[in-house]
Amino acid sequence: MSLDDVMISLYPDQVDEIICKQLRLFIEDMEQNLDMIQAGRGDQILTIFDSDPVQEIAYIQDHIESAKMIIEWYGESVCDSNDVKIPTPNYGYN
Q: How far apart are CA 93 and CA 91, in angstroms?
A: 6
How buried is residue 76: exposed, middle or buried, by Cβ count under 10 Å (0-12/13-18/19+)? Answer: middle
H/E segment holding residue 94: none
Among the ranges given (32-41, 50-59, 70-79), the one the predictor scored with the smallest mean pLDDT: 70-79
Q: What is the pLDDT of residue 82?
A: 54
Query: How far from 30 is each of 3, 16, 58, CA to CA, in Å?
Result: 37, 21, 12
Average the pLDDT over 26-54 and give the result.
87
Average the pLDDT over 13-24 and give the result.
88
Torsion of CA 93, 83, 58, 88, to 10 degrees: 10
Contact 77, 69 (CB under 8 A): no
Q: What whole-number percentage of the chain has pLDDT above 70? A: 79
Among the ranges given (26-30, 63-67, 73-77, 80-84), the one the predictor scored with the smallest mean pLDDT: 80-84
Among the ranges given (4-18, 36-50, 57-71, 78-92), the one the predictor scored with the smallest mean pLDDT: 78-92
